[in-house]
Amino acid sequence: MPRRMIPYNIEKYRDQSRTYAMFNPEGRPHVVCPQCRALVLLCDSLPRTERQKIAATRVEEPVAAMDLLKTMLPCGDREAKAIVAHLRKAGEGCSHCGSEMPRGALLCPECWSVNLDWG
């Protein structure tokens, strides 16, 4: 079990009613981040080239990446911000704690933060 997911945190994570009150996934594939409790859309419908374009834009200008994402997907500001915040930079570790992660892993083994590997 990761160090930060003690039984108390696991119990808190089970109740996700607050997350679903703020976000509406509307049947789209998603995951709730155990670290920040944001609902992160997985965006399987986006082609790989568009995901890479968003990831490249995020490195220099996160707000522009959010706007670009909102034009490509039917999502609001909160959903776009959650996606952009959980994008992992190519060749780097976890977007939250920086620990090493295997390519394509969704959850960090140390902090359980969601990491989208689009780069």
**Domain coordinates in residue numbering, the chain:** 1-119
State pTM to two decimals.
0.81
The residues with which 40 forms a beta bridge, in sequence order, are: 31
In the chain, which stretches have pLDDT less than 50?
Answer: 1
Instruction: Quote the pLDDT of residue 25.
Output: 74
Tokens of 88: 């992992």
Instruction: Quote the pLDDT of residue 5.
Output: 61
Instruction: Quote the pLDDT of residue 71.
Output: 92
Backbone angles phi, psi at 116, to 5 degrees: -95, 125
- DSSP codes, 28-86: --EEE-TTT--EEE--TTS-HHHHHHHHHHHHH-HHHHHHHHHHHSS--HHHHHHHHHT
